[in-house]
Structure 1
Amino acid sequence: MPVSIGRRGLVLGGGAALAMPTMARAAWQARPITLVHGFGGGGTADGVARILAEGLSSRLGLTVVVEARPGAGGTIAARGVAKSSAPNGHTLILLTGGHTVVAAMYKALPYNTLEDFTYVGLSGFGGPFVLFVARDSAFQTPADVIVHARANPGTLTYGSSGIGTTGHLTMELFVSRTGLDVLHVPYRDSAQPAIDLSTKRLDLLIANLGSVKALVDAGDIRPIGVSSLDRFVDLPEAHTFAEDGVASFDVTTYYGIAGPRGLPDDIVVDINRAVAGIMADPQAVARLRSLFTYPLTSTPQDFSTRIASEVASWTEVVRLARVERI
């Protein structure tokens, strides 16, 4: 099972306690930092990146700009940082949990997930994936879906934001653990499948809450389940998969900052401490909260360990669920 940090784990990591950096700050401050992410502008990841960039700018005393490089499940952005950026602290990347998913899904990547990055630290908890149905669907809980799908194999469809995304593999894990036969309908984002769900072209949708919140608020689609071990604070009525019969099911997503391999230790320490400061700032936390993101930090070592653990776990999910690799 992929490792995840649930609500009870939302505590500041050890970054705030690390020693002061020793590098000459004047040399570092002479150039801006570019914080890259692999998703579209205006999305949740972009919003989180901009909040972090503002906080890093004020705490590090230099300019931090955000650059979106969407495409190929985030691998375009990751390749650019891993292979085309000098390890001088001026190019960083904001990663999501999907970074380890693509390592499991892609037959070949243009970088080594474990060796070509310096993992600075976690920088936000993104919550669980949510199972949605149309407004007047008969399904009220994940247990209802399981009962119906077992009685009617091959009749239910579910949409996701694409093949090999974290949402897709989360649902495939759910399907494999319950022995269900449902049809995956991949899209390029979460917006269109949410619309198709509301018009009953789909039976189910797996997505992050933030990506479809407008349709939830309008009452066009309903959340019935979450992939976290504990119920989600923003959807307290939605059952967890675990409580509806899929024991120990716990998949959540997160944000984390990394740089190219060989990033100097003093830069890592400085950025890690700055992120800890952002996560302790009530104004920054409130802005993140509006994006359904919550305070979360870690030490660099803990982040690196988590990456390795999740690559192994998702690789096993792909194998057991017999998902065709890309």
Structure 2
Amino acid sequence: MSFRAMLFHAMSFRAMLFRTISFRAILLAFTFGCAALPVQAANFPDRPIKLIVPFPPGGGTDVLARVIAQKLNEKWGQAIVVENQPGASGGIGTRAVVNATADGYTLLMASTGALMAAASALGGDGPFDVNKYLAPITVAAAPPYLLVVGPGVPARSAADIIRISKEKPDSLTYGSSGVGAASHLSAVLFESEAGIKMLHVPYKGTGPGVTDLLGGRIDMMFAPAPVVQPFIASGKLKAIGSTDSRRSQFYPNIPTISESGLPGYQSVGWFGLLAPAKTPPEIVKQINEAVVSIMDAKEFRDQLAILGAEPMPQTPDEFGRYINMDVAKWTKLVKDNNIQLPGAK
């Protein structure tokens, strides 16, 4: 055999050997990589979890986050650390979770407003898809908002609010937890359907807004029931309507806005749990099952009932579809009323 033939055979053998080793290495890496996910999920959680609330303490999102954090701590034996990161109508805290490591150890307790802020800042020209940026886990609750006024406001019904606003446009002020939040959009929908104009005063969360409402610095607010219920009970605030289409089982004496002056009106906010996009589905499923099992417990339902809320568990896929439909509905209202959301492109 010539030297050239020997060299050719040697090079061919080395190439074949390299391909074999490379294939085996890739196969092993794939096998162990796939095996790591179930093991990771099986050991989850093995350290504390950070639960980011994109609003200040005291609001509906914060209250429900702390209830769920306590129950998960009892169930898992791991600390669930609630961290408030307010700003930009929920956009700052939401973006922090969008950019977090997708391992299940950073979660988001979000609301309508937080996802509207995310859609405004992150979404493109087409319909918003939450799954591109976050992994939905489940809805925690979807309580109706209550239209509450300070004791000095001469209104006892939605009809009174409409009458006052038509007599003196922009004379009534309303607070919200931020531009684009459910508390803001509920008021915009009210204005739009009633054909009136009021003055909007946005805050960095529901808590600060309620504080000013109690102090008489604003006139009214569409607020989550869990936040304002104690003040309604004490007589410091007057509830003149619920935003749902039917009366709440927790507040049967409070009429709906539809029956107290604006027929057909309905607006319901939601609070839910999400993780960064690309969080392993096994971990998302595990968190979902843990939270849903907590919601099924009578103790948890009783605790939410005290806050005027009712659990509404969903699968991750159901929650994702729910968010996308909700964002699409409110996005149309925002465009129709020329509202500039924080971080809008």
* Bin for the TM-score computed over the shorter chain: 0.7 to 0.9
Whether 1:145 aligns to 2:156 is: no
TM-score by length of 1: 0.81
**What secondary structure sits across from 1:181 in the alignment?**
coil
Aligned to 2:136: 119
Tell me how far apart the structure 2 counterparts of residues 248 and 299 of structure 1 sit (CA, whole Å).
Answer: 30
Indicate the residue corresponding to 2:181 in structure 1: 165
Return closer, same or farther for 1:220/1:31 CA change in 2, 3 Å cut-off: closer
Indicate yes or no: 2:297 matched with 1:281: yes
Among all aligned residue pairs of Structure 1 and Structure 2, give the percentage whose two residues are the same amino acid.
Answer: 31
Relative contact order, CA 8 A, sep 6+: which one is greater? 1
Report the counterpart of residue 111 of structure 2 in structure 1: 96
Matches within 5 A, 1:1-326: 23-24=38-39, 25=41, 27-60=43-76, 62-85=78-101, 87-103=102-118, 106=120, 113-125=130-142, 127-135=143-151, 137-191=153-207, 193-194=209-210, 196-197=212-213, 200-244=216-260, 246-326=262-342
Letter in 2 for 1:46: D
Provide Cα deviations, 1:18-46, integer angstroms capped at 9, x if missing partner: xxxx8225543433322222122454433
Rg comparison, structure with higher value: 2
Deviating more after overlay: 261-270 vs 135-144: 135-144
Residues in 2 aligned to 1:230 and 1:275: alpha-carbon distance in whole angstroms: 27
Q: How many residues matched?
A: 302
Which stretch shifts more, 172-181 or 225-234? Answer: 225-234
Closer, same or farther: CA 114–237 of 1 in aligned 2, 3 Å: same
Deviations 1:131-177 (A, max 9, x none): 12233543221022223322333333223333332211110111011
Asked if 1 retains the 8 angstrom alpha-carbon contact of 2:87 and 2:204, the reply is no
Indicate if the aligned counterparts of 1:114 and 1:308 stay in contact, CA closer than 8 A: no
2:84 & 2:99 partners in 1: Cα distance? 17
Structure ranking higher in strand proportion: 1
| Unaligned ranges ≥5, structure 2 | 1-36
Q: Structure 2: how far apart are the matches of 1:160 and 1:42?
A: 14
Q: Is the 8 A contact 1:139 1:145 kept in 2?
A: yes
Instruction: Give the CA deviation at 1:198.
Output: 5.1
Structure with greater helix share of residues: 2
* Structure 1 stretches lacking a partner, 5+ long: 1-21
Per the TM alignment, residue 257 of structure 1 is displaced from its structure 2 partner at its CA by: 1.3
Q: CA RMSD in A?
A: 2.8
**Residues 91-117 of structure 1, C-alpha deviations (whole Å, 9 max, x = no match):** 22111222333246x456799744111
